[in-house]
Structure 1
């Protein structure tokens, strides 16, 4: 346990590595941006990252693709002035960018230059699924290059983040004996989605650390539908509190990643993290989660997590924000709210759904396998 500024941060074992990481990790996929822009507010982002570190967070997670590469650059700047030695730095290899056996080393070198580091503590193959595994990882001998990078000290521990079904997850875990950790999508709504709870249990048995991404389902579990909020009001609990506790309650969870865009979010999550522990949920809270699962499922949400891999649409459609407009209908039970968001936000930062030509490029790269072109055609009808 680490105490700073009155906040006590719990630490957890990171699989069989012998390392302890903070129960709460700082994710950089959604660093704050300037209004109506795709440019990160570097000054504010650096302040947020350092504030989290000063208060005990020791795990910083970024990736080559986050916010068009800006996130790694900002992360590197935040870790200057002595902050690098205070944290474990995690980043991810964009396997979809590999077109030959030389790309692994080229891109890793680029990432290390971006972040101005000579070693990355935790390095993942990003968003593995059956397609990337067969046509990128195996085709270009990526595992051999990955293990060489560990042997020569460019990286310390090897892992992967995952976006496919449980059978594929199990196959990847069993294929190679050198995995140290993995990162999976999990929250109380998505227990059976992708690797799910079965994946958590399987990795734990193999001695792998398991990091959790999307604990708030891209923020949708922080702003829940009214029917779900009523359930939490009955036990005097906040939606974010319940979502994070659901994960910390589970043995095998090493670190829960949160993309925290404000000091308020950091302080809130730190307060929840300081009392986190395995088996922490009471019977009332477990029952409330079961009720919330059903009410939330009835809102029919799209699984977009705002990763922005589809942000290079040939027609410049701002796909994540268009999908967010659809999800706002379910969250707020209001077409008006969704239309206001669509009219006031989507058009200001990129193309709208009506610009979609159904080329399906986005669907070929979407880690959540969303039928994006279908929803682009449907959105104008939904917000009439």
Structure 2
């Protein structure tokens, strides 16, 4: 496992970090025996950075991680977790959340603590006005928090404003070969590097979109290269090619992903991609930009929907229609969005309350997109047809 040094404090961090948002599940809950084995295997092979959050896995990720690291492993790794700003109306809210996080994680200190999902400078200013930053600094002085940072989902301009507004110990951004010019952007990554601020990368595979269901043209572009590499390996190598990247987070959900990612993380070097490899990415990006309709990463921050809409599911089905030119797209949409379930989750269930849009890291106009999806994927005969079938099957 390769490491890169945190220039702020000399921590030797594994270049592969374990993202704790997509653990394997069983019956809707974390499959703890399996996930524990995966975590232990990753630690044994050199992974030492684990990223979780107060809200991941409906609040169960931190508790699971605490149990998995019990028995002496806690001291061998760095834990990163996050404070959700939208749940902080006053300083006491933040303090209560933090106490809960320490209890869940079974620890008395957090190595890397982040303000979760900042989207603009005013959000940071509000937290600062509440006294959150002063309080975090007090915790840092006591050693209860080792590093103060933030994760970001907003515009390049706001990222730079936030970056310059506080002496951050680190930051976390979304970055992959499709988002080089989105959100923080390449220039934001380079600015952080210039300022000596370590950068943690999230969504290197865009929530799996850069691996699963890729168009045949993209697969062929990768396959024509002289070395055999999976789409995931191509995407990860692209991120690690940037010297400003300290840690790349991967939300690994099965054993094969852990094994592959660890193998790659033992081989890569910053700046190692050649001209031919970089030209392959140019061709792939051109193909995908032409086909992707909605830039959703399936992060789930928009959920749950009060009306029951499976927003990421709707977007995924809609994107797949264009990415895959799938003739069965409408049928799969009906099938996966619960047309015949007790609680349908299709786009036309949307009541346009707008709650989801306030939490979307990609700033997607979700209500507008759901209207379009309803029009294209359902049409005028969808509800009458589904209604008849539900009545015949006696589904209330």
TM-score range, shorter chain: over 0.9
Note the 1:64-213 alignment, pairs <5 A. Answer: 64-130=54-120, 133=123, 136-177=126-167, 179-213=168-202
Alpha-carbon deviations, 1:205-229, whole Å to 9, x = none? Answer: 1111101101001101112222211
Preserved CA contact (<8 Å) 1:211 1:253: yes
Count of residue pairs the alignment pairs up: 373
User: Which deviates more, 283-292 or 324-333?
Assistant: 324-333
Preserved CA contact (<8 Å) 1:45 1:74: no
Match status 1:351 vs 2:345: yes
Q: 2:272 aligns with which of 252, 265, 280?
A: 280
Q: 1:304 aligns with which of 277, 296, 302?
A: 296
Preserved CA contact (<8 Å) 1:328 1:338: no
State the SS of the aligned residue for 1:227: helix
Q: Distance in 2 between matches of 1:339 and 1:147?
A: 54
State the SS of the aligned residue for 2:147: strand
Cα deviation, residue 82, structure 1: 1.8
Alpha-carbon deviations, 1:248-273, whole Å to 9, x = none? Answer: 11111001110001110111111111
Q: Tell me the residue number matched to 2:208.
A: 219
Q: Tell me the residue number matched to 2:383.
A: none
Q: Normalized against structure 2, the TM-score is what?
A: 0.89
Cα deviation, residue 19, structure 1: 0.7
Q: Structure 2 vs 1, CA of residues 331 and 33 (structure 1 numbering), >3 Å: closer, same or farther?
A: farther
Cα deviation, residue 176, structure 1: 1.1
Q: 1:360 aligns with which of 354, 357, 376?
A: 354
Q: Tell me the residue number matched to 2:386.
A: none
State the SS of the aligned residue for 1:383: helix
Q: Normalized against structure 1, the TM-score is what?
A: 0.92
Preserved CA contact (<8 Å) 1:311 1:319: yes
Cα deviation, residue 329, structure 1: 1.9
Preserved CA contact (<8 Å) 2:207 2:298: yes
User: Which deviates more, 150-159 or 340-349?
Assistant: 340-349
In structure 1, runs of 5+ residues without a counterpart are: 1-8
User: Which deviates more, 315-324 or 134-143?
Assistant: 134-143
Q: Distance in 2 between matches of 1:233 and 1:123?
A: 40
Preserved CA contact (<8 Å) 1:306 1:320: yes
Q: Which has the higher contact order (CA 8 A, sep 6+)?
A: 1
Structure 1 runs of 4+ with >3 Å offset: 344-350
State the SS of the aligned residue for 1:188: coil
Q: 1:24 aligns with which of 16, 20, 36?
A: 16
Preserved CA contact (<8 Å) 2:189 2:244: yes
Match status 1:381 vs 2:371: no
Preserved CA contact (<8 Å) 1:336 1:383: no
Note the 1:5-84 alignment, pairs <5 A. Answer: 9-34=1-26, 37=28, 39-84=29-74
Q: Structure 2 vs 1, CA of residues 31 and 339 (structure 1 numbering), >3 Å: closer, same or farther?
A: farther
Cα deviation, residue 245, structure 1: 0.7
Q: Distance in 1 between matches of 2:124 and 2:16?
A: 33
Q: Tell me the residue number matched to 1:315.
A: 307
Q: Structure 2 vs 1, CA of residues 48 and 335 (structure 1 numbering), >3 Å: closer, same or farther?
A: farther
Alpha-carbon deviations, 1:76-124, whole Å to 9, x = none? Answer: 1111122212211101110110111211111111111111111110000
Q: Which has the larger radius of gyration?
A: 2
Cα deviation, residue 342, structure 1: 4.7
State the SS of the aligned residue for 2:236: helix
Q: Structure 2 vs 1, CA of residues 379 and 242 (structure 1 numbering), >3 Å: closer, same or farther?
A: same
User: Which deviates more, 330-339 or 12-21?
Assistant: 330-339
State the SS of the aligned residue for 1:333: coil
